[in-house]
Amino acid sequence: MRDNPVLEIAALSKTYGRRAGGVRAVQDVSLTVGAGEVYGFLGANGAGKSTTIRMLLGLISPSAGSIRLFGQDVTHGQPPRKVGSLVDGGAFYPFLTGRRNLDVLARTQSLGAGRIDALLDQVGLTGSANRKVKGYSTGMRQRLGVAAALLNDPDLVILDEPANGLDAAGIQEMRTLIRSLATEHGKTVFLSSHLLNEVQQVCDRIGIIDRGTLIREDSVAGLLQAEESLRIVATPLDKAQAALAPDWPCTIAGNALQVRAPSAAAPEILRRLVAAQVDVFTLAPHQRSLEEAFLAITSQAETGHA
């Protein structure tokens, strides 16, 4: 899929404030997004997601590095028309209806109003199109924001925190909408989020940004697989831990040992424990959630920094 890159970022950096002590918000980030992919840019608050997205959209200029969209260098220029975006939840006139807001936006972008009905339908707002936006829920506003991002029929849709402020039902609707952009409408989607659950369920690939640096990039399945572990109930646990070190890193959690190892290593681990005269009661694979994987990855990065 990435043979046909839509977005290519190379060694992208941004420092706010030129003098010494400036904030290094993004450092040396490189990534590629292929046509038709839904790419999740995951990070905690302040990790550098919005700064990266603002650079992609030409709203701020990078301090170093380059950005290519559809093969075209846009590092210091505006993105082409093929890009649509939702940043800060979209800005709408509260006293105008949803439909009228889209109409105004279409006019300011010199676009026809012909697609508006179809877009309202696509984001599930047909029934509320003639209501004033001030009466919309956060979820409805976010969906109107997605419709606004799609006005120019873009090939790449960039969404900054699309699930921000949504309740569980709103997040579910947004997930379905984002997936349908890729699967039914053939769009490439780049979205940022601090919600692991959201990216886990929606994205094909995930890049994790931590304090400005891209620390990991993989498919959801790959991220989970790399974090495969075994849960062993045995006694005494300290003896078991000592028997496995340093080959298999493990931690004691309650009455069990959490061992970072694939299932394929189970027979060897069992033999090692028996040889060390440890009594083993159960040994089972433990699939970490993406949340646990994310915490493990970011805490490893933290140890590396220190």
Ligand X SMILES: Nc1ncnc2c1ncn2[C@@H]1O[C@H](COP(=O)(O)OP(=O)(O)OP(=O)(O)O)[C@@H](O)[C@H]1O
Please report, as ranges, the residues that interact with ligand X according to CB under 6 A.
Answer: 16, 23, 25, 43, 45-51, 194
Comparing CB distances to ligand X, the nearer of 50 and 128 is: 50
* Closest distance to ligand X from the beta carbon of 41 (Å): 9
Q: What are the start-end ranges of the H helices in the chain?
A: 49-56, 98-108, 116-122, 138-149, 168-183, 196-202, 220-226, 237-244, 266-275, 290-305
* Closest distance to ligand X from the beta carbon of 35 (Å): 26
Comparing CB distances to ligand X, the nearer of 54 and 99 is: 54
Comparing CB distances to ligand X, the nearer of 23 and 284 is: 23
- Is the four-CA dihedral 185, 190, 192, 198 of positive or negative sign? positive
Show the tokens assigned to 61: 């200029």
* Closest distance to ligand X from the beta carbon of 47 (Å): 4
* Closest distance to ligand X from the beta carbon of 31 (Å): 15
Comparing CB distances to ligand X, the nearer of 119 and 206 is: 206
* Closest distance to ligand X from the beta carbon of 289 (Å): 21
Helices and strands: H and E segment counts in the chain? 10, 14
Torsion angles phi and psi, residue 15, rounded to 5: -115, 125
Comparing CB distances to ligand X, the nearer of 138 and 263 is: 138
Comparing CB distances to ligand X, the nearer of 190 and 248 is: 190
Show the tokens assigned to 108: 């300011």
- Asked if 67 contacts 9 with a C-beta cutoff of 8 angstroms, the reply is yes
* Closest distance to ligand X from the beta carbon of 63 (Å): 12
Residues with Cβ within 8 Å of residue 291, at least 6 apart in sequence:
196, 197
Show the tokens assigned to 146: 């997605």
- Classify each residue of 202-224 as buried b or exposed e, where b means 16 or more C-beta atoms within 10 Å of its C-beta: bbbbbbbbbbbbbbbbbebeebb
Task: Tell me which residue has tokens 């918000």.
Answer: 25
- Distance separating alpha carbons of residues 208 and 187, to the nearest angstrom: 22
* Closest distance to ligand X from the beta carbon of 48 (Å): 4
Comparing CB distances to ligand X, the nearer of 59 and 233 is: 59
